[in-house]
Amino acid sequence: MDWFDSWALTLATFLPVVGIVVLAFVPRAQEQLIKTVALVTTIVTAAVGVGILLNFDYGAKGVLQFDPGKKTWIDAIGSNYHVGIDGISLPLLVLSMFISILCVIYSWDHFPEPHNPKAFLMLMLVLEVGMNGTFVAQDLILFFVFFELVLLPMYFMIGVWGGPNRQYASIKFFLFTLFGSALMILGFLALFFKAGNTFDIPTLIEQAGNIPHNTQLWIFGGLFMGFAIKVPMFPFHTWLPDAHTEAPTVGSVILAAVLLKLGTYGFIRIAIPILPEAAITWAPIIGGLAVVGIIYGALGCLAQKDMKRLIAFSSVAHMGFVMLGIATLTDFGINAAVFGMVAHGLITGMLFFCAGSIQERFGTRELARLGGLLVQAPKLGWILGFCAMASLGLPGLAGFWGEFPAILSAYQPAAGLSEPLFRFYMVVASVGTVFAAGYLLWMYQRTAFGTPKEEFAKEHIHDVHGPEWLAWAPMLALIFVLGVYPRFLFGVTDEAVQTVTAAFRAVGGP
Amino acid sequence: MYLNQFLLLAAFLFCVGVYGVLARKNGVLVLMSVELILNAVNVNLVAFGAFHNTVVGQVFALFVIAIAAAEVGVGLAIVLLIYRNKQSIDLSEVDLMKG
Amino acid sequence: MLRNAFLIPLLPVISFALILFFGKRLPGKGHEIGVLFVGGAFVLSAICAAQWISRPADYLPPTGHAEAAAVEGAHAAEQASTEAATDEEHPADGEPAAEGEHEVEPIRKAEVREVVWFETGGVEIKAGTRMDGLSVMLVFVVSMISLLVHIFSTNYMHDDRRYTHFFAALSLFTAGMLVMVTSSNTLQLLFGWEMMGLCSFMLIGHWWEEKNNSDAALKAFFTTRTGDIGLLVGISILFFAAGHTFDTETINQTALSGTISSGVLVAAAAALLCAVVGKSAQFPLHTWLPDAMAGPTPVSALIHAATMVVAGVYLIARLYGVFWAGFHIGDGGINPVALIGGVTVIIAALLAFVQNDIKKVLAYSTVSQLGYMVMALGVGAWTAGIFHLFTHAFFKGLLFLGAGSVSHSVHSFDMKKGMGGLKKTMPVTFWTFLIGSVALAGVPPLAGFWSKDEILVGASGNGYPIFLVIGLIGAFMTACYMTRCVYLTFFGEFRGHGHPHESPKAITGPLVVLAGFSILAGFLNAPGIELFSKWTENTTVLAAGVAHHEFSIGLAVVGTLMGVLGIATGFAYYVRNLGPHRLTQRNQAALTGYKILENKYYLDRLYTDMVVGGLKGPVARATYWVNQNIIDGVLNGTAAVSKAVANFTYSVLDQKLVDGLVNGAGAGAEEGGSALRVLQTGRVQQYAAFLFGAVVLMGGALVLFV
Amino acid sequence: MLAQNVIFGAIALAMAAAALRVVTTKNIVHAALYLVVVLAGVAALYILLAAEFTAVVQVLVYIGAIVVLFLFGIMLTRAPIGITSDLDNNQRGLALVVSLFLFGVLGAVLNDAYGSTKLASDNVIQKSADVGNSIFQDYVIPFEVISILLLAALIGAVVIARRD
């Protein structure tokens, strides 16, 4: 399978492009064909993903695999086409493919207004290219291109298929992220010039130690802005609730499930291993913002009247846990962060699916108008409850493994970080778990418990239907399986994470 | 002969062309000024070609001439169109891009 | 079977899944699965218990203050156990003789079976079962009570809206507790702990159509979850303090070996105590438990007798090394564990007097009894604490199911308005309930007497006289309010509607079984037999050097007297209308001259106050007031404040300030834009002029400065 | 050598003067004619630089075709033939300043870079054949592209100017 080894990642990234080209030639009216093409494309892409999963060498999770070597891409600036994955990228890559399929299935029969499946699905495939590409890129410029590539389709998804306030939301999303990207590319350029005229990530990891400490701090600052906005961390989060609220269901799901992960992934893949010294200096700040985000996001949730907005704020809180894990700069913490990323992708994705379905059925997401979901659509109600429980970090479901180890790791952060400070963070984060229970159960009580409100009491609300089952069942199963047997994920990430922190231990270790 | 005498002359032609482009309001005259600029560039190309003892300079000069011909053709067509629409080729009155 | 103990929690889990997915299609709507699987779990636990009892007590653990072995923890020690004989050569100098008559005796070796769960940061996290006396005892009790509750529910819940879901949740609840007690590490313990939290949420809010019920469910979940902050923090601290492990045995041994700094240990113990306070409904977080009565009665029985609230006590017992070393329990000073337990005993018992709802009386009684257990553990009477847990499970389960049986018959929980005189119509329920009450009151030779007595012995023997007094007062009050409860329910005239009748066999059967255990269970650790303490002793207790005290006949007499006195007081007051009535009337008349006495309801409350004796009345009311207004008020206030803060954060900070900055940037750009608009004439040549001008300026700068 | 320099000086002066007149004259037809002078001067410079093929093309294309095109343009737009004061817009001052500064900067740069660089006098004469070879071998693709460009320009001009 030498052939597969060198081409798998390129295929995984660019197969959706084939789908896009094919779609471009299908007339708009043939919707069935369009949907089939999109579905087949995502499935074939995921098949490559399965191939990667099977051929992945689990004995060497810490090294880059499926790496065909550098191919000259833009010679003038020394940028190469260099792809590769290790144990950290693998789960995220697979997650991204997986979510893409489910989103196509989910939107099968309910494309949001103004309909137009062709454009919608093409945008979705473009998104997939960007997401997959970001997770496999091993060259900063390549990474940047893919990182930015996801902006456009998402912009159009929100701007065209979004809710009433979509224009404001889409512009805000676009500008906010672009602002971060501008600082990020500055950071990349600085890395290029200060660390040996290369954009190659593995090379940079080896060479960047020579950069003077002060310069490192500035570069890290630039990268931090770029990634932190994408995550989003407090206080750069305000684009998120708007974008989520206005985006169509599928857009929200992809946004929550994968796009937010690009930011945290950037921290783990680029910022921390390349600039470990700066990471130590920045870690208390990141950790502080993370725990502020946890509490702040939770408080934000409590004040919400709109279900989707509530879930969006809960993302802020959850990504706070992920960032806290990263900020500890320990194996435990970063493992927890990767787990948290996947878990949050699945769980919050599911919550958005539920919110979307509720909106579709009731025509509103306003908590005050909902109620008695368990009476009218018991299965949907159960699923929502399951996701709420998973989201609040109940052991046995995936959310727990992102939350608890992050708290655990904050007790003993990496050498060079202030222990009392991080222990304080730990306690604050633990308080955050109670808040999480608070807002999620409160939401659940308002939507699912009680009896249906008068305006909906007579309506027939149909329960979960076919495409929804198809799209949701795998996610629900994964949430459960990962929760009970986290080794599936920890086993893959652990070694790779240790290489990340090894680059770091060399600096901060005793 | 110094290389610079050609270059300086070309620079002068170029600046005169720039002045023309900026200061003239008759469309045809603006196009003529553009031709000055293009010729200044051509002189540069040929002079450097001679300096480096290669024909590439001339080749590019020829290309530029060809493109200039095309440019003038299209440019004049546009000027004609403007004239036909506004009964004038006064570029000061063409301010569709006003914000 | 001890090795395969993982099957015991697994069975109810399977049961949960099966009921959830197939239950509705079965003729019994899923209860047959629940009964079958939980019954299976019970059989397996019984086998476990039998094997444990027949296991030879041949293991000599390293003593607590022995230096090296403790740190290496259980595994190393157990591997070495085959050569246990060599341990005898070990000089016993580590064990201070001052600890008393205690000497190292061989115990039964715990059966540990673990598999690697996952790895993170290069550390293997294991999952597994650890079966020692404590776990075996609890597994047995839990599966038995659960089985009885299942059987009971088949009839009690028969026409329920969500019969199937009820059984599913019941099974999962049982599974949660079983996971917790069998686990070999704190992480898995946390799993079971939270599973129970989830199930209590589901079951308390079983009738979620009414807002009160879902409110109660939320309250239960939040309150326990607040305590769980402590559990998360405590587990984290101990994970690192014990050298990157969740293993309970290692944690205990490390804590006792003195290698952990006392500050860390105190922090860990305090954090865990928070969790206990939340889960076991100790003062001041006990308020959720009475509200939790909103759930179906069988659930209350399960929560109070065998699962959920017992989990907190189990946590202390399981991680006793941490508490022992962190709070210096062996030194005889007042420590937080004992203090919280003691305060809870009194406060909850006082509250039990003012309730009219039979389930609330029992609920406060549970809180009070849990206080006993916690207090026992706090004064160093480990065996007494878990022995009380053991006996309490039977008679409290019995009492709740009895209350369920009564309400099944009269369709009410109000003792004053819906019951009375049921002695004749429901004889089985009456007699079993009476047995449970007497056992709870601590009358020999029933179960409650033996365990309560042991707690008192422990408190006095370990130098905690104040807690001895509290224990005695508690015993008196318990007897008194139970008398009131029994009298109101079964004696006098029937005050409800309809025709009460004896419940069917599915309901009375479990009552009879539990009544049997309530009578007999206490003898397991009666003086001279003392099997229970032998069976449950584990390495932690030995290593800590928990002292054993001989049965004291004097104390037993005093304890019995208190119980009997309580019953007599209650009897005298209720049945004979003696004593305090006139006193009250005179006092009230003399001091205030009010005619309020004519108000029967008010009088009732006043009498109730007088029963607990003169000045105790206001105290109880104040306690209730504190309960309702201050503690609950703080909870509600916290919610209100955080909501206000949340609103402020959202509407002012988030929407105005942070968002304002962002929008401000946009507005700034717009302002600047309109300023620059003047320049935008639309004339291309002008643009070109600017363009060239800019180029020239930049080029010039380049020429001049570079 | 001297002769060449003298000739260059003469041509340069004529060109400079003519170029100035192109952008300053008030008669639009005169402007076109002055442009012819400049273009012819450029052709002469090519010859001085021994690029006679380019010089010939310059004369043919520029003077023969483009200038004629201009004249057609002037006529078709009914530009005022004769002296008018209305050929300049109101930003002459700005344009003057910009172009003077531009010249200053360019001159400074050129002087700095090539102040004393001489053109080798023993230049191998670039034969027209070499130019042809170069175009049709090394630069054949750009050549083809330019062909298409011309075609496109042709069509484009027709489409734009077509009266419909």
pLDDT above 70 as % of chain C:
81
Residues from chain D that touch B72, judged by Cβ atoms under 8 A, are: 66, 69-70
Q: Which residue has the higher pLDDT, A383 or C561?
A: A383
Hey, are the CB atoms on C682 and B91 less than 8 Å from each other? no
Hey, are the CB atoms on C685 and B30 less than 8 Å from each other? yes
State the Cα–Cα distance between residues A94 and A257, nearest whole angstrom.
12
Cα atoms found within 13 Å of the Cα of residue A417, Cβ hemisphere only? 33
Going by DSSP bridges, is the β-strand pair A79-81/C111-120 parallel, antiparallel, or unpaired? unpaired
B97 in a structural domain:
no
Question: Span A264-282, mean pLDDT?
Answer: 88
When CB atoms are compared, the residue of C683, C689, C692 closest to B95 is C683
| Selection from A3-17, A463-477, B58-72 with the highest mean pLDDT | B58-72
Q: What is the pLDDT of residues D129-152, one digit of tens each?
A: 888 888 898 899 999 999 999 999
Q: Which of A202-211, A459-468, C60-69, C545-554 has the lowest mean pLDDT?
A: C60-69
Select from A173, A329, A441 the residue whose CB has the most chain C CBs within 10 Å, as the one to mutate to test that interface.
A441
Q: What is the per-residue DSSP string for C430-454? A: HHHHHHHHHHHHT-TTSHHHHHHHH
For C647, name the nearest residue in chain A, comparing CA atoms only. A303
pLDDT above 90 as % of chain A:
20
Hey, are the CB atoms on B16 and D90 less than 8 Å from each other? no
What is the predicted pLDDT for the residue at C638? 62
Displacement of CA D56 from its chain's centroid (Å): 13
Residue C23's pLDDT band, with cuts at 50, 70 and 90, is confident
State the Cα–Cα distance between residues C36 and C15, nearest whole angstrom.
8
Distance from CA of C70 to the nearest CA of A (A): 23
Q: What is the per-residue DSSP string for C151-187? A: HHHHHHTTT-TTHHHHHHHHHHHHHHHHHHHHBSBHH
Question: Span C275-289, mean pLDDT?
Answer: 81
Hey, are the CB atoms on D104 and C686 less than 8 Å from each other? no
> Is the pLDDT confidence value at A296 over 50?
yes
The chains found to touch B (3+ Cβ pairs under 8 angstroms) are: C, D
Q: What is the per-residue DSSP string for A456-509? A: HHTS------HHHHHHHHHHHHHHHHHHH-THHHHHHHHHHHHHHHHHHHHHH-
Residues from chain D that touch B23, judged by Cβ atoms under 8 A, are: 23, 88-89, 91-92, 95-96
Q: Which residue has the higher pLDDT, D39 or C95?
A: D39
Query: How does the average pLDDT of chain C come out, rounded?
Result: 76
Question: Span A283-301, mean pLDDT?
Answer: 86
What is the predicted pLDDT for the residue at C687? 78
Residue D1's pLDDT band, with cuts at 50, 70 and 90, is low
> Is the pLDDT confidence value at C62 over 70?
no
Q: Which of A293-297, C308-312, C547-551 has the lowest mean pLDDT?
A: C547-551
> Is the pLDDT confidence value at C302 over 60?
yes
Distance from CA of C668 to the nearest CA of B (A): 18
- Containing domain of residue B47, as a range? 3-90
- Domain ranges within chain A, ordered by starting residue: 2-508
Residues from chain C that touch A494, judged by Cβ atoms under 8 A, are: 119-122
- DSSP secondary structure letter of residue B2: B
Chain B within 8 Å of D153 (Cβ-Cβ)? yes
> Is the pLDDT confidence value at C633 over 90?
no
B11 in a structural domain:
yes
Hey, are the CB atoms on A404 and C232 less than 8 Å from each other? yes
When CB atoms are compared, the residue of D22, D94, D146 closest to B67 is D146
Q: What is the pLDDT of residues A67-98, one digit of tens each?
A: 887 888 877 777 888 888 888 889 999 999 99
Hey, are the CB atoms on C703 and D108 less than 8 Å from each other? yes
> Is the pLDDT confidence value at C76 over 60?
no
State the Cα–Cα distance between residues C256 and C94, nearest whole angstrom.
12
Chain B within 8 Å of C685 (Cβ-Cβ)? yes
The number of helix segments (H) and strand segments (E) in chain C equals 32, 2
Distance from CA of B45 to the nearest CA of D (A): 10
Residue C93's pLDDT band, with cuts at 50, 70 and 90, is very low
Residues A105, A106, A110, A115: is their CA dihedral positive or negative? negative
State the Cα–Cα distance between residues C329 and C347, nearest whole angstrom.
23
Q: Which residue has the higher pLDDT, A235 or A269?
A: A269
Hey, are the CB atoms on A427 and C221 less than 8 Å from each other? no
> Is the pLDDT confidence value at B45 over 90?
yes
> Is the pLDDT confidence value at B33 over 70?
yes
Q: Give chain C's end-to-end CA distance (angstroms, integer).
A: 86
What is the predicted pLDDT for the residue at A506? 53
What is the predicted pLDDT for the residue at B7? 92
What is the predicted pLDDT for the residue at B41? 94
Q: The complex's ipTM?
A: 0.65
pLDDT above 90 as % of chain C:
0
Q: Which residue has the higher pLDDT, A205 or D145?
A: D145
Assess whether chains D and A touch, using the rule of 3 or more C-beta pairs within 8 angstroms. Answer: no
Question: Span A444-456, mean pLDDT?
Answer: 82
Question: Span C105-114, mean pLDDT?
Answer: 78
> Is the pLDDT confidence value at A464 over 60?
yes
What is the predicted pLDDT for the residue at D146? 92
When CB atoms are compared, the residue of A303, A372, A389 closest to C647 is A303
> Is the pLDDT confidence value at C73 over 50?
no
Which residues of chain D are at the C interface, by a Cβ-Cβ cutoff of 8 Å? 89, 91, 94-95, 97-99, 101-102, 104-105, 108-109, 112
What is the predicted pLDDT for the residue at B8? 92
Hey, are the CB atoms on C699 and D109 less than 8 Å from each other? yes
What is the predicted pLDDT for the residue at C66? 42
Select from D90, D102, D110 the residue whose CB has the most chain C CBs within 10 Å, as the one to mutate to test that interface.
D102
Q: Which of A36-40, A144-148, B51-55, C217-221 has the lowest mean pLDDT?
A: C217-221
Residues from chain A that touch C226, judged by Cβ atoms under 8 A, are: 434
Residues from chain A that touch C194, judged by Cβ atoms under 8 A, are: 394-396, 400
For B22, name the nearest residue in chain C, comparing CA atoms only. C685
> Is the pLDDT confidence value at C85 over 70?
no
Per the CB < 8 A criterion, the answer to whether C264 and C236 are in contact is: no
Overall number of domains in chain B: 1
Q: How many CB atoms lie within 10 A of CB C252?
A: 30
> Is the pLDDT confidence value at D164 over 80?
no
- H or E stretch at C312: helix C309-318
Phi, psi dihedrals of residue C111, rounded to the nearest 5°: -100, 115
Taking alpha carbons only, the member of C409, C178, B11 closest to residue B3 is B11
One-letter amino acid at B52 equals H
Select from C679, C683, C686 the residue whose CB has the most chain B CBs within 10 Å, as the one to mutate to test that interface.
C683
> Is the pLDDT confidence value at C87 over 70?
no
| Cβ burial, residue D116 (10 Å; 0-12/13-18/19+) | exposed
Hey, are the CB atoms on D99 and C692 less than 8 Å from each other? yes
> Is the pLDDT confidence value at C577 over 80?
no
The chains found to touch D (3+ Cβ pairs under 8 angstroms) are: B, C
> Is the pLDDT confidence value at B24 over 70?
yes
Query: How does the average pLDDT of chain A come out, rounded?
Result: 86
Structure tokens at A72: 């000259």
Which residues of chain B are at the C interface, by a Cβ-Cβ cutoff of 8 Å? 18, 21-22, 25, 30, 91-92, 94-99
When CB atoms are compared, the residue of D53, D88, D98 closest to B58 is D53
The chains found to touch A (3+ Cβ pairs under 8 angstroms) are: C
Q: Which residues of A374-412 are buried (b: 16+ CB within 10 A; e: fewer)?
A: bbbbeebbbbbbbbbbbbbbbbbbbbbbbbbbbbbbbbb
What is the predicted pLDDT for the residue at C636? 58
> Is the pLDDT confidence value at C414 over 70?
yes
Q: Would you state the CATH architecture of domain D1-85?
A: Up-down Bundle (1.20)
Per the CB < 8 A criterion, the answer to whether C313 and C385 are in contact is: yes
Q: Which of B79-83, C218-222, C622-626 has the lowest mean pLDDT?
A: C622-626
> Is the pLDDT confidence value at C256 over 80?
yes
When CB atoms are compared, the residue of A303, A395, A427 closest to C650 is A303
For residue B13, give the CATH number of its domain: 1.10.287.3510
The number of helix segments (H) and strand segments (E) in chain A equals 23, 2
Hey, are the CB atoms on C677 and B99 less than 8 Å from each other? yes
By three-state DSSP, how is residue D108 classified? helix
By three-state DSSP, how is residue C364 classified? helix
Select from C679, C691, C692, C706 the residue whose CB has the most chain D CBs within 10 Å, as the one to mutate to test that interface.
C692
Hey, are the CB atoms on C696 and D89 less than 8 Å from each other? no
> Is the pLDDT confidence value at C639 over 70?
no
When CB atoms are compared, the residue of C119, C649, C658 closest to A299 is C649
Hey, are the CB atoms on D46 and B31 less than 8 Å from each other? no
Residue C587's pLDDT band, with cuts at 50, 70 and 90, is low
Distance from CA of C655 to the nearest CA of A (A): 8
Assess whether chains C and A touch, using the rule of 3 or more C-beta pairs within 8 angstroms. Answer: yes
Question: Span C369-393, mean pLDDT?
Answer: 87
What is the predicted pLDDT for the residue at C91? 40
Question: Span C265-272, mean pLDDT?
Answer: 89
